[in-house]
Each structure stands twice: as C-alpha cells, then as structure tokens.
Amino acid sequence: MTAFPLPLADIFGHWGSYGVYALIGVAFGMTLESAGFGNSRLLAAQFYFKDMRVFKVMFTAIIVAMTLIFLSSSFGLLDYNLIWVPPTYLWPGIVGGLIMGVGFIIGGFCPGTSLVGFATGKLDALFFVMGVLFGIYIFGETVSQYAVFFNSSYMGRFTLPELFGVSYGVVVFVIVVAALSIFLLAEKVEALVNNRPVAELPGWARPAAGTLIVLAAIVMIVGQPDNGDRWQAIAAESQPRLDGREVQIAPAELLKLMNDQKIKVIPLDVRAEKYYNQFHLQGAVHVPLDEVLAKAEDLQFELANTVIVTISNDELEATEAWKVLKAESVPNVYILEGGINKWLDTYASDRFRKENKIHLRELEQLAYRFDAATGARHQAAEPNPDLLDLAYTPKVILELKRAPVSGGCG
C-alpha cells in the first residue's frame, strides 16, 4: 500500500503538480482573508485581548490537522516519517521567535498574513512585505557574522513526545482538550475586555468539538505504528527488491562510490564492537544493530546525495539494519554484498587471505583471523581503485528526498 504524502509530480506530471500547488495556495489565501487575517488591526487586536480570532483560527487549524495526521498514521494511511518536521535549534529559535513576535505586534502582520493583505491591495501590508524582503536581504548578508549562534543548540527532530516522554497519542489528546478549553476562556476574556456579554457558541461548535475529542481519543488508544508495523506496510514492495538482489551492491561499486566526490557515502557498520575494532572500512560509522533504529532519525537529515550502505560480516545483520532503515523511510539505503568477508576476499592481499582464512565458522563471524585490532589501518580498509579492476553491475540509484518546507507564519 502506498502511504501519503502523495507523489504529486508522478501522478499529475511536473506542470500538473504546480497546478495543484496553486489551487492549494489560493484556497489557503482565501481562508486567511475570510478569517480576517488580511486586516492588520484585527491581527494586532489579539495582543490586547480584544479580538482572539487569530488564536482561535490558527489553533483550530493546528488541532484539526494534527488529529487527522496522527489518525491517518495510526491506520497506516500516512507515513509520518515523510512529513518534514523542521529540526530544533533551541536558542536561535527562541531569539527568532521573539524578533518575529515584536515585528508582529508593531507591524500588525506576520510574513504569511502580510502576503494576504498585499494580495488584497492593503498599503500597510505592502510596506510590511517590503520590510520582510529587506530583512531577508540583511540576514543573508550578515548571517556569517553569527553563524556559530545560528547553528547552535541543535536538537534534531525534537517534538513534545520526546520532551515529556509520552506517546504521540497522549500529546494529541491533551493538546486538543487544552485548546478547546482555552477557546472557551478566550471568549470570556474578549467579553471582559470589551465589556460585553459572552458570545453564544454557534450550533455546530459543540458537536465539532466533541467529534475532535473522540478522534483524538482514538489516536491515543490505537497508538502509532512501530518499526515492525512500518516494515509490514512496505514489505510487499520492498521484500521483492531484497529477494531479487536489487539492493545488495558489490564491493567494487561501494569502493567506486567512496571515491566519488559527488557522492557522500556512509558505510554503516552494524557489527559487534569486537569485529569493528579488528577491521573496518575507512570512514565506516559504527552503529550496532540494536542502535540502528535510534540512528535512523539522524540519517533522515542527510543530504540528497548521500548513500547509506549497511555492513556486517556476511549479510544477515546488514539486511536487518536495511529493513529497519527502509521502514523508517530513510532513502538511498543499500547492503554490502557478502559483507566484510567478501570485501576481504576481494581486496585483502593473497598472503593475508592464505595465512588467516578461517574455514570453519558460524554465520556473521569474521572469515579471517586478526592478531590485533587493526581497525581501518589494514591495507584492505582503503584500496586504491586506480590499481583495481572495478567491474560490477551498478545498482545504486539516488532517490529523491523530501525537501524542507514551511507554513503558517514561518
């Protein structure tokens, strides 16, 4: 089963996908305008508690989208790993939020709503947009002066479940209930500040709120799929590639990739530490098999030209690591064919192979004896491709990765 997000370019073609994006953008702009988000006075009124529509509209969109996203993920309709979650840079984020907040109060717009006001011909929005563009220019010209701070306190894809140590379902349910409660409080605050009676809720409000709470409760009860569930969802598509040897690349192909300056290769060595210390490839990253799942999140942030190759002594453990990474939607993952043992068969010297071959061994044990922990100092750890015949059947095809996007007032 193909899970969302949908590959619109594959379905509608290059220009057809742009048509879909345009329709979504127009619909989004119309929604903001109809909610009053193109009026700077209404936007600024929220900071004086006179008109809380911005808060109510934005948080309604947030909790509805959040509930539907995780509900779809719970039932396997959507792969949450394919949704871009901007990485957290804690202190730069706090400072940037304060700067944007002050600008919002002073100008009456955020970057997104200023475009809505500009589209409807509002003069103050025009000046705000010009200020945004000027600010972008100044930022681009000066960011090198404070690049260390700008890239500091990196926390990766850090979300509320990681912060509080609870499940996504619990967070969804708590936020929905809290938001709906604060909506009621906001109505009372507006009435108090404006010295008027509390406005009556529209007839659809209570059923809608009740439905949202029920859906959030379902998300909490059903939970989110684990790595095993994710693999089962893609097994029908991925297992044939595994069985057909489409993802097992020859040592020669890996060696060529490692010497290709246009490709970033991460040789992911999933063996036990004792084997890694005895011998590993130059540049290999040691991640034991039981830690691969935790490493998957970092690998999702690698550049689009990154190829990840899982490595074990044979192929068994490397194949298990490949399944874990594929289930977590990490692109461009391959397996070293035959593992380290085949690599040594191919690139170790004749003398080494003759003197150190182990003929009776168990699966996933080294096929060669090492008298010391040579690591990557062994001559076979970094062969010279210019001196070797690198004949092989190429299998690596770089997949397109999801690109970072932004939304709302970002």
Digit-coded pLDDT (tens) for 146-186: 999 999 999 888 899 989 999 999 999 999 999 999 999 99
Does residue 6 surpass a pLDDT of 80?
Answer: no
**Shortest CA distance to 353 belongs to which of 279, 257, 276?**
279
Calpha distance 192→135 (Å, rounded): 38
pLDDT, position 248:
97
Sign of CA dihedral 86, 87, 92, 95: positive
Does residue 407 surpass a pLDDT of 70?
Answer: no
pLDDT, position 278:
96
Are 233 and 1 within 8 A, CB to CB?
yes
pLDDT, position 381:
95
Does residue 3 surpass a pLDDT of 70?
Answer: no
Which CA distances in Å does 309 have to 224, 254, 330? 28, 8, 12
Calpha distance 304→401 (Å, rounded): 6
CATH ID of 228-387, from 3.40.250.10, 1.10.287.3510, 3.40.190.10, 3.40.50.300: 3.40.250.10
Name the pLDDT band for 400 (thresholds 50, 70, 90). low
Task: Choose between 31 and 342: higher pLDDT.
Answer: 342
CA 221 to chain centre: 25
The pTM of the full predicted model, rounded to 2 decimals, is: 0.80
Name the pLDDT band for 268 (thresholds 50, 70, 90). very high
Q: Which residue has the tokens 């040592």?
A: 251
Which segment of 30-44, 64-78, 270-284, 325-339 scores lowest on mean pLDDT?
30-44
**Shortest CA distance to 67 belongs to which of 153, 179, 150, 151?**
179
**In this structure, what DSSP letter does residue 228 have?**
H
Q: What are phi and psi of 6, to 5 degrees?
A: -80, 140
Does residue 402 surpass a pLDDT of 80?
Answer: no
**In this structure, what DSSP letter does residue 157 have?**
S
Domain residue extents for the chain: 8-226, 228-387
pLDDT, tens digit, for every residue of 203-249? Answer: 899 999 999 999 999 999 999 999 999 999 899 999 999 999 999 99
Calpha distance 235→327 (Å, rounded): 9
pLDDT, position 54:
86
Does residue 200 surpass a pLDDT of 50?
Answer: yes
Q: Which residue has the tokens 């750890």?
A: 381
**In this structure, what DSSP letter does residue 377 have?**
-
Name the pLDDT band for 401 (thresholds 50, 70, 90). low
Does residue 89 surpass a pLDDT of 50?
Answer: yes
119: alpha, beta or left, given left = phi > 0 and alpha = psi -120 to 50?
Answer: alpha
pLDDT, position 2:
47
Which CA distances in Å does 383 have to 26, 259, 314, 318? 56, 10, 20, 22
Calpha distance 346→406 (Å, rounded): 47
Calpha distance 76→236 (Å, rounded): 14
Calpha distance 283→268 (Å, rounded): 9
Does residue 1 surpass a pLDDT of 70?
Answer: no
Task: Choose between 34 and 7: higher pLDDT.
Answer: 34
Calpha distance 287→289 (Å, rounded): 6
Sign of CA dihedral 248, 253, 259, 261: negative
Average pLDDT over residues 189-210: 92
Which segment of 75-84, 122-131, 173-182, 332-341 scores lowest on mean pLDDT?
75-84
